[in-house]
Chain A
């Protein structure tokens, strides 16, 4: 986000707080996707994810006056969505417990899939439903702490500092988790993508 966009956002927020509430529609438009994707990564189903996203946008509106002007709206909003998703998951699965005795960032190294050569898979391949499903499934399979970092950083393209702030973790934790997430995806996806996109018989399809 450019400084200009950031200033524009600050002005929008000031105007909303001054009573021009309709501008809230414009303020949140750029964040519909990141908020929804983050919610989806927790809830694992579209209906709950949409609900969480709506609640997060409503809560952000109701609490807009508590937003500090020195913070970034995007990270503030994402942390509201994160709390909403986590809270709902806790209520849904009250018995679910997470291991607290080990720091997940200290687990051993992730090794990549070993390949001798890699034939570039063009973006057009994403038009195939089969490839889209494979990519989505790979991201969904990542452990939560890696998935949330990966989605914010590599899919929604927040920078390292924004990702750290939104998730309330350190910059070094973002880097470690991102690295692991990327290698895990490479390990899972590279062999599968290679076999699904392998040219059959001929090198070129003449059409």
Chain B
């Protein structure tokens, strides 16, 4: 089975998650082997997901934990139990 680039793009997310059926995965894989365009789209998407998931991108504000647990402590002291 041969598919067009446009169809490959609709499978990118499932391809990255490994949730495509075996048949489609093989078809997409074959397409990627000879299509520079789709390979670059796949590689860049994968790369971007790795970068955005990096803990340094979204950080908790300084002192967030301390303030949260302090506020919880006040609540816990007031009440014996939930």
Contacts and interface: CB of A to CB of B under 8 A. Distances in A.
* A, B from the same assembly: yes
Contacts of B3: none
A112 B9 contact: yes
Interface residues of B, number: 42
A24 B39 CA distance: 47
B58 A155 contact: yes
Given A126-B57, A155-B58, A179-B13, A185 B52 contact: yes
A109 interface: yes
A57 B68 CA distance: 8
A193 B82 contact: no
A166 B14 CA distance: 21
Interface in A130-153: 131-132, 135-136, 138-139
A120 B43 contact: yes
Contact of B41 (A50, A112, A121): A112
Interface residues of A, number: 59
A202 to B, nearest CB: 22
Contacts of B76: 21-22, 24, 61
Contact of A182 (B12, B36, B67): B12
Interface centre among B16, B36, B52 (most CB of A within 10 A): B52
Given A16-B81, A21-B79, A21-B80, A115 B71 contact: no
A22 B73 CA distance: 8
Nearest to A178: B13
Contacts of B16: 182
Contact of A57 (B12, B56, B72, B79): B72
Contacts of B51: 121, 123, 125-126, 131, 135, 193
6 contacts: A32-B65, A61-B72, A61-B76, A117-B40, A127-B56, A175-B13
